[in-house]
Structure 1
Amino acid sequence: MAASQPFNKQTAYWGVSWEEAYGYPQARRVGNEIHVSGQFNHDEEGNLVAPAPLNADGKPSDFSSMGEQMRVSYDNISKLLALYGATMQDVVEETLYVLDMDAAFAVVGKVRKAAYGTERPQCASNIIGVSRLAQRPQLIEIVCKAVIGARDI
């Protein structure tokens, strides 16, 4: 299932189970702003892509899939923005929540530059280390805000 706007043009959904369980849209447009909920490493069917292996305590034991998870997260953001006619160049602020800061810093520059299509992405960026994310094999989640037309300014 692709990202869609089944209820109105202001909100977007993937149609995955956790939207109903938690009760939220993946993105919401307010005026020219698009607020994107935390995106992570799932495909359009809700399956995790490059999930981290878990140890006996149910915690990630290997962070080598950080780059692939990050790439998929940015791809998901891009697909949601496209529903509103926006692109990654319209993103003005992002926050990356990561389980391992060293693993994130090892790949974030290359992945971000590819996602934004430029050596100098023009958005404010924050990276925050956290102890747990929604899905146990998840290493990263990205939240952002875009302003339609920001790429033209």
Structure 2
Amino acid sequence: MAHTETFDVPWEKDYGYAQAVKHGDTIYLSGQVSHDGPDLVAPAPLDEAGRPADSGNTGEQMRQAYANAATLLARFGASLADVVEEVVYVLDIDAAMAVAGPVRKAAYGREDPPVASTIVTTPRLAFPELLVEIRVVARV
């Protein structure tokens, strides 16, 4: 039987999903973004068209997304040390690659995280102010 977890934020009900699902020994996390409760953390400033005006907050958003992933994993008695795969979605690959190494290594607590990782660009995320979304799979 699957066990689920949420952050009880409005967009979970609006879209209809769980933040995390544990099935057997595997924990699947939905894409984690930069938020603390219903508030976005380090939102990108938007231009007149409603698109991010710059990518300067990429690292801070990435740190918060990993922190949210760690919070969810802890609810299952797991941690980022149990992550086996991640997909990092970014709006600006150059900005992301400039900060991803140090941010990821700090999040995982080691210089050589044993995590299969893919980083891809996307034209937009769930909210216009978002620059990063991180999906992980953990095994316990």
State the TM-score, normalizing by the size of structure 1.
0.90
1:18 matched to 2:29? The reply is no
Conservation of the 8 A alpha-carbon contact between 2:85 and 2:137 = yes
Residue number in structure 1 paired with 2:32: 39
Structure 1 segments unaligned to the other structure (5+ residues): 1-7, 149-153
Q: Which position in structure 2 is the counterpart of 1:3?
A: none
Task: Give the ranges of 4+ consecutive aligned residues of structure 1 lying more than 3 Å apart after TM superposition.
Answer: none
Aligned equivalent of 2:72: 80
CA distance in 2 between partners of 1:34 and 1:72 (Å): 19
Shift of 1:62: 1.1
Q: How many pairs does the alignment contain? A: 140
RMSD: 1.1
* Structure 2 counterpart SS, 1:64: coil
Aligned-residue offset at 1:9: 7.3
Confirm or deny: 8 A CA contact 2:2 2:24 kept in the other structure. no
Confirm or deny that 1:114 pairs with 2:106.
Answer: yes
1:29-86 per-residue CA deviation (whole Å, 9 max, x = no partner) reads 000000000100000x210000000001100011110000000000000000000000
- The match for 1:4 is none
- What is the identity, as a one-letter code, of the residue corresponding to 2:87? T
Looking at structure 2, the residues matched to 102 and 74 of structure 1 have their Cα atoms a distance apart, in angstroms, of 19
Deviation of the 1:89 alpha carbon: 0.7
Q: Match for residue 125 of structure 1?
A: 117
- Which AA in structure 2 matches 1:138? L
> Which runs of 5 or more residues in structure 2 are unaligned?
none
CA distance in 1, matches of 2:98, 2:7: 30
| Structure showing the higher strand proportion among its residues | 2
Is 1:53 aligned to residue 45 of structure 2? Answer: yes
Secondary structure at 1:92's aligned position in 2?
Answer: strand
2:84: which partner in 1?
92
The amino acid of 1:19's aligned partner reads E
Matched, 1:146 2:112: no
2:22 corresponds, among 13, 22, 29, to 29
User: What TM-score, normalized by structure 2, do the two folds share?
Assistant: 0.98
